[in-house]
Chain A
């Protein structure tokens, strides 16, 4: 049993101070991805001098490019409260189509690349149709699409690695600009800017956030919900196609399981960056943060002297910490 509670007024000054403190912690947690990123860069830099060199920074930006394109692609369906698991598989499949159009059909490399990106876009469009018109559950529909595309890639390549790529095709992956900085990350910057502008400044972007937040209200407000969902899937497919081209161009090869290793990271990156799996929340700055964080963890663990058997586990823990901190933020400071 308790006695009568009689706490009252003198607490107010303290309460105000607490409120300020609360606000600051909220700000820190809100930007946790970026703070965690800086901390890890410094940390890895202390473990290994090579980490902070220009060469390694260039490496990180290149590594981040493909993951960034995939992260953007995954984020769009997430924003409308759906998901697309087939994006990394789409990357591999579509790039193989592009490569084979050049090597087996004799198309000019540029046209062949466009065919590859076009196929990826169509796959995205088809996913969108299945999820809206047939009302298939996106998790399962895109899971099955992922398996189909992975299988199709294996069938196309007959288990071999495709290396017959034209010089023009691989140029973008190798080209450098002033000071030896690679050109490829510029594509990611452009994609981030375009998607960012689309989300913030266009009707399409506003509609995407609205549909993700409340599809029924969006429908009543005159938004064609199905159309918006199909568009996001189609753009996601297009981005996967471009990512496929970039990855093949950079590696100068397409393996029979090209892209599969990206699946979990491509989904984790936008979510770490604040894109809600329930739809309607997230922006490109956050996605970029998530992508850079994951890339720094991967590259950092690769070049520090962590025994390779522990790399996966430690990387997993680092992601876990980022997500846990974000969950605490949402729980107490949203």
Chain B
């Protein structure tokens, strides 16, 4: 069917001539059944006009299914969705977009080699007889982008993460968006970027746009949203029309169905422990490090702005970024050059968990078992042949000890939720039995429950004598999980915090200058 809205191709909210002035979108008893599995069970919620409505839930709780249904990508098995009082349960994506409902996904749909202006009007280029009207396109784009700080002529590939997300939101608005669904828009954003995005959203909200905001972070929901709904196992676990009445602990309890025990590592001094890894005079892209010692069993946090050297040093140690000079030594032995390839790093007992599992963490179409074994094939092989029995034991071991939720280890990784994919990645690097484990944003994009699991696994590992580096911009995570924090600036360690000096406030102050 086709929803009867043709007049809303302008920015801002429709005039409230609709029957339901208070709620722009009402979801009533929506269920989605796959075979015998209920992905959603009779979910109802009301979204107030010109508000930001938070949607929380664990990976697999049904958030994606719900917004998929609202945006018309899939049809509900039963139930109704009213947009301005009109039932749109049968509308497809096209009809919903014409009606003003847009889903902005995690991965911004941006064509890198086109300009920001062209991207803004992707597919809706103003045309006359098949020819693009460039002057109109440029003028419209310039008007739309005026307040966003994005140059219309810039090549989209050169835009940073926050600008790309803004561009996507603006595109939705330019197409007449009045309800915009943002699926984890803050993933991979730094704190200042996030602030900028939130200001942008508030500004649009005041112009009459309604947002549905999906996030894993309670503090983000509490900061930006007016109301919140929490999904758990496909059902509505609860929510609030007034976000001011909610606390972070209450949200976590709704998400998990139980009180959340936040993990906190017992920090101690490692002065007396032997040095496990020692770095000297490392020079690489964005890195110029004098010296760093990491002791046996110690967890060291690296933090700083992008380009300040935290992430870059981690990659250089693992051989993903080539270092120009510098040496690494293990357990007080003679120094050697830094690895020139991840394989050399693994051979030296260094393992690295990528910050972007989809890009370079998992091989999606291979099974869980094949992914777990991938980095340790060499050492478990005989004349180049994979030892199947040993491989199976290894994978079963990590499959269960990581608590990966899947039917079995033969399941294809693409079918898993983000949190479980992250556990597969972690299993893969742990299977190499490293003495130095480098974790780049280990809990990014995974829900609060799995996050505690991951932090606990890392903590337990360090107690077996493995030294760990956690690269993170999540200050709360650092406070809870490390013994020492190195704050990076200009490629070098600007300050080191230990013990009680590691607080959210001190980290924010030092890292975000």
Contact = CB atoms under 8 A, between A and B. Distances in A.
B360 A214 contact: yes
Contacts of B374: 206, 210, 218, 221-223
Given A5-B90, A203-B381, A220-B352, A214 B362 contact: yes
A5 B362 CA distance: 40
A203 B346 contact: no
Contacts of B4: 1
Interface stretch (B71-79, B168-176, B256-264, B480-488): B71-79
Contacts of B375: 221-222
B354 interface: yes
A127 to B, nearest CB: 22
A203 B363 contact: no
Contact of B370 (A206, A220, A281): A206
A217 B77 contact: no
Size class of the contact patch on chain A: 20 to 34
B377 interface: yes
B362 A217 contact: yes
Contacts of B28: 4
A217 B386 contact: no
Size class of the contact patch on chain B: 35 or more
A314 B37 CA distance: 46
B428 interface: yes
Contact of B36 (A5, A8, A12, A223): A12
A280 B320 CA distance: 23
A313 interface: no
Chain B interface SS verdict (over half)? mixed
A206 B428 CA distance: 15
A281 B36 CA distance: 30
B89 A4 contact: yes
Contacts of B87: 1-5
A218 B365 CA distance: 13
Contacts of B341: 222, 224
B363 A280 contact: yes
Contacts of A213: 363-366
Contacts of A6: 78
A6 to B, nearest CB: 6
A281 B363 CA distance: 12
B80 interface: yes
Contacts of A210: 363, 366, 370, 374
Which of B354, B360, B370: most chain A Cβ within 10 A? B360
Contacts of B381: 202-203
B345 interface: yes
Interface string B160-196: 0000000000000000000000000000000000000
A217 B360 contact: yes
B359 interface: yes
A16 B36 contact: yes
A232 interface: no
Interface in A5-59: 5-8, 12, 15-16, 19
A217 B384 contact: no
B222 interface: no
A221 B320 CA distance: 10
Given A5-B80, A5-B89, A281-B365, A216 B360 contact: yes
Nearest to A203: B377
B335 to A, nearest CB: 22
B351 to A, nearest CB: 9
A223 B78 CA distance: 48
Nearest to B351: A222
A4 B362 CA distance: 42
A230 to B, nearest CB: 15
Interface in B376-399: 377-378, 381, 384-386, 388
B342 interface: yes
Given A206-B370, A213-B366, A221 B342 contact: yes
B19 interface: no
Contact of B86 (A1, A19, A204): A1
Interface of B: 1, 4, 28, 31, 33, 35-36, 76-80, 86-87, 89-90, 320, 341-343, 345-346, 352, 354, 359-366, 370, 373-375, 377-378, 381, 384-386, 388, 428, 432
21 contacts: A2-B1, A5-B76, A8-B31, A8-B78, A12-B33, A203-B377, A203-B384, A206-B370, A206-B373, A207-B377, A210-B374, A213-B365, A213-B366, A214-B360, A219-B320, A219-B360, A220-B360, A221-B363, A221-B374, A222-B342, A224-B341
The 7 closest A-B pairs by CB, nearest first: A216-B360, A213-B363, A222-B343, A222-B346, A221-B374, A214-B363, A4-B80
